[in-house]
Each structure stands twice: as structure tokens, then as C-alpha cells.
Amino acid sequence: MRWADGLIAVDWGTSNRRAYLLDASGSCVDEHEDSQGILSVPAGGFPAAIAEIRQRLGDQPLLLAGMIGSNRGWVEAPYVPCPAAIDDLAAALVRPSDREAIVPGVSYVGEGRADVMRGEEVQLLGAVADETIPPDALVCHPGTHNKWARVARGRIAEFRTVMTGELFNLLKEHSILADLLQPDVEPDDGAFRTGVDHGLTHDDIPAELFAVRARTLLGQAPHSSPASFTSGLLIGADLRIGLAGTVPAEVVVMGRPELTELYAAALAQAGIQARELDGERCFLAGIKAIAERIE
């Protein structure tokens, strides 16, 4: 059996999973997505969940990435330390059987901090493997936990995670701002840009978040703008961390289009060129590159 002759690739996260049936050329010929993330699988339930994927997409080998390899997933796949290349991921695959393989995550320790990723590494190194990005690049990967990664010589050299997406969701669901942060009927680009500018230039985010409510109560801001402003505020602060005072010639923004568009707009406001890449395409490129290395 050659894995590169056809397989099912699975991006299995905490809340969702996406499975893709790939042919020998690496092209996706069928796919399935649902909300059966790892937290929805009961104890001992992963073999049945794996069987369900095969029932939907065919009896093929499975190459799995994401939180499925965490200590809360099926079988733990230990982190590969930075600097990490596609060869390192392939060499550290965990094999529950000869027909399943789990891609490890990547870890970083240095400069007095520690960080981890699972799933994004396949996209990052997939984009390197198919030469969508150069071997040296700064990549922003927006999501629940946004990643800023420096790719050097085709390897993930270092990265930092910013909990922007999760923070916005927590504020929207559980904070005093919840009633103000429901999606705007029409996104307010002006409010978004104002928020981005403040986040880029100030370090008072906890105070400014409360001011969102105060300005609304006192009639100092349009009622349609709090969600757009707060989104911009958090993304601006995110950029401030990820750029760390540098002005790169270009930032590659990789992920879901609805998120890359927001970050690209914020980067443009900061005077930095952004190149948007679809994360799904990069994921499949990474899976193909790993499959070619499985013996």
C-alpha cells in the first residue's frame, strides 16, 4: 500500500472536523465536514468515529492532523520542536495502525516563553512544499488562536499565539459587552478602522473594552458600531504583537477567507502588504507532501 496512491485527510479540531478524499494526484474528489470535534467524541469512541469517516468517504488510509493528536484526542502525537520542517513531521508520525497516521504538532520554547500548535503546521509547511510561499516568510494564521509564524529556510523557526478569536467570542457570549457585540446588521468599516488604529498604537485594551460600553451608554458612538470597533481593536492589538515593531515587506495571511480578509485590511491600514492564502488549499498541499514521505 502506498499512501500517496489515495487517502483520506482529516483536519480534526476541538469543535469541528473536515475530511477530504484525495486521489493519487492529491486532488480532492470528495469531502465531508461536521461538528464532531474531539470534545464531542465519548471516551473510547474514536474507533467508531474513524469508521464513520470511512463509511462516508471510502475504505482508504487516514492521515489525521489537528487536535486528534492532542492529549485529549485519540492517540497523542508528541510535539516536534522548532525549527520544524515537513520531513520532521513525516518522521514523527504516530501510527495507531498501518492504515492510520497522526501528524504531530509543533512546539516552541525560547525568549522566556513557550508555545504550541496543532493543525496549522500542516498548512504552513504545505505552502512551503508547493512553493506558494517562499522559504523565508512571516505568516499570520488567523483563527480562534491566531498564529504568527516565522518561516526560515523552509522550516517553522518560531511562532507566537494570540487568543484574539477566543477573546472576542468570550466577550460576545459572557461579558458585560455581550449585548453590544452581536453581529452588526451592516459591518461598519469606519468603526473597524478606528478600532484597528487604536489597537495598533495603544496598550490600554482592557480599559478601552469597557469604554466601548460607556461610549454607547452616553451616546458617544453609533449603536451599530460596537462589534465592528471591538473586532478592529482586538485585531489591531493582535498585529501589534505579531509585528513586534517590525515593518516587513509582506505578511502572508493564511486561513479561512472571511478571516484573512479582515487581517489583510488591518495590515493594509498599518501600511503593510498582505498576501491572502486559502488555508484549506495549504492543508491539502501539506497532507500530500507528508503522504509522499510515508513508507
- Are 74 and 96 in contact, with CB atoms under 8 Å apart? yes
Tell me the average confidence (pLDDT) per consecutive run of 10 residues in the chain, 295 residues long: 83 95 93 94 94 96 97 96 98 96 98 96 97 96 96 98 96 95 80 96 96 92 84 97 91 96 97 96 96 90
Cβ atoms 6, 23 nearer than 8 A: yes
User: Which CATH architecture fits 76-295?
Assistant: 2-Layer Sandwich (3.30)
Per DSSP, the residues of 233-245 read HHHHHHHHHHHTT
**Angle between helical axes of 279-291 and 120-129 (0-180°, round to 10):** 80
Give the pLDDT score at 291.
94
Contacts of 134 (CB under 8 A, 6+ apart): none
Q: Is 219 exposed, middle or buried (0-12, 13-18, 19+ CB in 10 A)?
A: exposed
- Check residue 210 and give its pLDDT: 97
Q: Report the alpha-carbon distance of residue 76 to residue 68 in Å, rounded.
A: 8
d(CA 247, CA 227): 28
Q: What's the pLDDT at 281?
A: 95
Looking at residue 84, what DSSP letter applies? B
Where are the chain's structural domains? Answer: 76-295
Global pTM reads: 0.93
Closest CA to 117 of 93, 141, 152: 141
Here the cell at position 258 is 472571511
Alpha carbon distance 286, 154 (integer Å): 13
What pLDDT is stored for residue 26 in this prediction?
Answer: 87
Cis peptide before 83 (omega within 30 of 0): yes
Instruction: Give the pLDDT of residue 75.
Output: 96
CA-to-CA distance for 281 and 289, rounded, in angstroms?
13
Buried/exposed 134-155: b ≥16 CB within 10 Å, e otherwise: eeebbbbbbbbbbbbbbbeebb
Residue ranges of alpha helices (H) inside the chain are 46-57, 86-91, 120-129, 164-174, 189-201, 205-217, 226-243, 257-269, 279-291
pLDDT at position 1: 46
